Amino acid sequence: MLIDTYGRVATDLRVSLTDRCNLRCTYCMPEEGLQWLAKPDLLTDDEIVRLIRIAVTELGVTEVRFTGGEPLLRPGLVGIVERCADLAPRPRMSLTTNGIGLERTAQALRDAGLDRVNVSLDTLRPEVFQAITRRKRHGDVLRGLDAAHTAGLTPVKVNAVLMPGLNEDEAPELLAWALENGYELRFIEQMPLDPQHGWKRDGMITAGDILASLRTRFTLTAEGEDERGSAPAERWLVDGGPARVGVIASVTRPFCRACDRTRLTADGQVRTCLFAREESDLRGALRSGAPDEEIARLWRLAMWGKKAGSGLDDPSFLQPDRPMSAIGG
C-alpha cells in the first residue's frame, strides 16, 4: 500500500511514457520545443511494465493512466497496454492524449485492453487551435475523438483549458458540442507548469468564471461530494442529467485532501504531486538489479513523504523545475 502521513492512499498511477509532443501548446512549452530526454534516460518498455506490475501486485494500485508528453508517440505503447492488461489483478487503464494519431491507433489500443481515453481539445475553432498549439491539426483531433468513440474507449472525456483572449468565451459552445457527440467535457484551470514560467494567477480563467459562462446557456446541478470521491473534477448534471460536465480547479479549489495519485516520469522518477519540486529515483534501483521488494520499499518511502497540499496558495510557491511535458499530466 502507498500511504502518506496524512492517511491518503495512492491507488491511481499516472505513467509518463515520453516527454516529447507533436504540439506546442502555449501553456505547456515554447514554440521551439524543449531539450528532450536522451533515449538512454528513458525507461524501456520492460522497465515500465515491471514498475506497473510492482505497483499493481505489491502496492495496491488499481488505476493506471498513460500520459506524456504525448503517449501516442511511444512506439511500444500498444504492447505496454497489452502486457499490463494481463496483470492479475488487472488494473483499469486509460490514456491522456492530444488525439493526433488516435484515428489510426484507437482500435488497436482497445483490442490491447485500454479502457478509455481523455483527449485534450481547447477549442472548436481551427484558427484558435492553431494559435494555442502552433500547429494545423484540429481536424486530426476531431477524427481521433470519433475513432475513440467508435472503438469503445468510453466514456470519451475531453479536457479543455480556457485562456484569456483566446478561447475564454467558448465554454457553452464546447459543452453543447460535447453533449451532441456523447463526450464528457471537463474544463481544467490553467496551472503553473509552463517552462517559461509565464503563468500568472491574475487574469486566469477560474472555475467560477467557467461555471458562470456555462450557466448562461445550461442549468447546472452539483453532483455532490459523495459522488466525487477522490476524482479531481467537480461535476455538475447538465439540464437535469444524465449528462455531466466537470471542472478541475487545481488552483482555486484544490482537492489535495482526497488525492489518491502517484506519478512516474518517463525517466523513472516518482513524483508525489504535479507541483512537487522533489523526485525519488526508481530507475537507478531497477538498473542496479534491485529486487521487486526493494523497489516497492523505495516507492512506499517516497509516498510517505508526500506533502499536505500543492502549496499553490503559499506566497512562497515556486513552480517545479521540470515542465508539464516531462512530469506527465
Domain of residue 274, CATH code: 3.20.20.70
- Tell whether residue 262 is among the known ligand binding residues: yes
- Per-residue burial over 40-49, b if 16 or more Cβ lie within 10 Å, else e, is eebbebeebb
Q: Is 120 part of any known ligand binding site?
A: yes
Per-10-residue mean pLDDT, the chain, length 329: 96 95 80 80 97 98 95 97 98 97 97 98 96 93 98 97 93 98 94 62 85 97 73 90 91 86 95 88 97 98 90 68 67
Domains in the chain, number = 1
Q: Are β-strands 244-248 and 12-16 bridged in parallel, bridged antiparallel, or unpaired?
A: unpaired
Residues 6+ apart with CB under 8 A from 245: 175, 178, 184, 185, 186, 187, 214, 218, 220, 235, 236, 238
Q: What is the largest CA-CA distance in the chain?
A: 59
pLDDT in the model for residue 143: 98
In DSSP terms, 159 is beta-bridged to 120, 186
Residue 84 assigned ligand-binding role? no
pTM, 2 dp: 0.92
Does the annotation list 62 as a binding residue?
A: no
Residue 235 labelled as part of a binding site: no
253 labeled binding residue: no
69 is in an annotated binding site: yes
Using the Cα atoms of residue 178, residue 92, residue 53 and residue 250 in order, give the sign of their dihedral: positive
Strand partners, 158: 119, 185
The CA distances from residue 295 to 13, 173, 234, 272, 284, in Å, are 15, 47, 34, 16, 10
Q: Which residues pair with 187 in a beta bridge?
A: 160, 247
Provide the pLDDT for residue 27.
76
Q: Is 256 annotated as a binding residue?
A: yes
Cα distance between residue 264 and residue 185, in whole Å = 26
Rounded Cα gap, residues 236 and 245, in angstroms: 5
250 among annotated binding-site residues: no
* Separation CA 72–CA 52 (nearest Å): 18
- Classify 313 in phi/psi space as left (phi over 0), alpha (psi -120 to 50) or beta: alpha
Is 136 annotated among the ligand-binding residues?
no
Q: Is 65 annotated as a binding residue?
A: yes
Per-residue model confidence (pLDDT) at position 196: 60
- Domain range for 108 is 2-326
Residue 6 is labelled as binding a ligand: no
pLDDT at 315: 67
Q: What is the pLDDT of residue 197?
A: 58
Handedness of CA 38, 102, 132, 198 (dihedral sign): negative
CA torsion 292→297→302→307, rounded to 10°?
130
